[in-house]
Every structure is written in structure tokens, then in C-alpha cells.
Amino acid sequence: MIDTHTQGRYQEVSNTWRYAKLQTTEAYLGLLRERGKRGLPITRVYRQLYNTNLYLTAYGRVYRNAGSMTPGVTEETADGTSLETFDTIITALRQERYQWQLARRTYIPKKTGKKKRPLGMPIWSDKLLAEVMRMILTAYFEETFSEHSHGFREGRGCHTALREIYHTWRGCAWIIEGDIADCFGSLDHNLIISALAEHIQDGRFLNLVGQLPDAGYMEEWKFKRTLSGVPQGSIITPLTMLQTLGIFF
């Protein structure tokens, strides 16, 4: 349930958000989809992070999430969002001084119930910027992923995987299940950037992506570095993982 204060903040930007989503944002993302489909690299991506319309669209996507009201290492949450929030992020990016903040680490039970999974809780500004970057990367790379890939993709999941099996698999006798142990926690930071750099010709944007996993996390009020792996809980993490694994599979 969203409280009245949050609803008020949303109404402040709702009309502008609807316009941005239908116009500028979709035009740019459509261009990225086309270049991804044609296998063409993209350039000058970083300067698109100055576009307020992208943040308005990102806000419309993530403010409804349960985690939007969960604070990270600061008290900042979705209910304090205004156009000034976007301007603050954009100003820092223009001056190339935006700093990803530590994620607050917590643990949630795995489906088996026997072990717990680490989960990073970023601050709200980081969530907004990460969603903008995720939108950009998804628009481009979605066209490059295999049709048989279903995990961590919009509109795809177990239901689409089962549908593919039902309609296209014939005479299947064996199904082998595999799992990459500690996949998120083991990804090499340099490998992530190398995978993205094959398609993105923009050093500033790649540096910004690379700084995210290097930001570290706070656990029981103690700072800990992340020398490898990417934080579970970050909006952009699943996409970078998929693109990196695409090198090998």
C-alpha cells in the first residue's frame, strides 16, 4: 500500500512522466533496439544520462516496487522524490562526480529454507540511476540474447520456458539441470566491462558501470569491499550477468 505522501509525490511528476514515456524515452530506446538488432555498436551513451525524461520513466517503473520504501545506508526513499532529485543526480553526472553509495547488506532465506542469500539494499538515488542504465542496456542487448534464454528478461520466465518446451521439444528423454555456484558473487569485474565494451563505445558510461560493483557494502555497520562479484539486489546486476555469460554460452 502506498501512503498519501508517496501518492502526492507521484502526482507531481505523473503528467510529465506519461509524456516522456510516450515521446522522448521511447524514441531513444527504439533507436537502441534497432542498433542492437543490426549488431551496431552504440556511442555517446553517457550524455543520455542527462535526460530528465529517462528518470521520469524510471521512477514510474520502480516506485511501485516494495523495495522503493526500504532505505539503504541513508534514509532516502521513494516518497521524497521530486524533480529536484533528478536534477541532483544529473548535475553530479555532468560534473563526473557521481559516486555510488554503499549497499546495505541483509540476508533473505533461499527457497530451500536451509541457507540465506545475501541481498544488497542500495539508496534510492542509486536505484533511479541504475534503472535508467538498465533501460538503456536492456533496449540494446535484448535483441542480442538467444531466443532460448528466459531468465532475468522482461516478459520472460519459467512460463515462457515451459511454453517453448511444450510447443517445440519433441522426443525429449532427459533434462539435465545445472547451476553455477555463487554466480553473482563470482563474476569478475573486468570481465563484465570487457563484455560490455564489445558493444558500447563510451568510456565514461563503462566507467560508471564499473564503479557500481566496486562501491562495496555495509554489513552490521562495517564497510566491506567487493573485489569480485556483483551485488544481488541491484537493478542492473542481472543484465550485466547475462551479457557476461553470453561470452561463454
Mean pLDDT of 48-67: 88
Q: State residue 79's pLDDT score.
A: 85
125-140 pLDDT per residue, tens: 999 999 999 899 889 9
* pLDDT, mean over the chain: 78
Mean pLDDT of 87-102: 94
Residue 153 has pLDDT above 70, yes or no: yes
Q: How far apart are CA 54 and CA 51, in angstroms?
A: 6
* pLDDT tier for residue 249 given thresholds of 50, 70 and 90: very low
Residue 2 has pLDDT above 60, yes or no: no
Q: State residue 80's pLDDT score.
A: 83
Residue 89 has pLDDT above 80, yes or no: yes
Residues paired with 118 in a beta bridge: 107
Residue 77 has pLDDT above 60, yes or no: yes
Higher pLDDT, 118 or 91: 91
175-231 pLDDT per residue, tens: 777 776 666 666 677 878 888 898 999 999 999 988 887 777 777 777 777 766 565
Higher pLDDT, 61 or 244: 61
Which among 202, 204, 211, 203 is positioned nearest to 231, based on CA atoms? 211
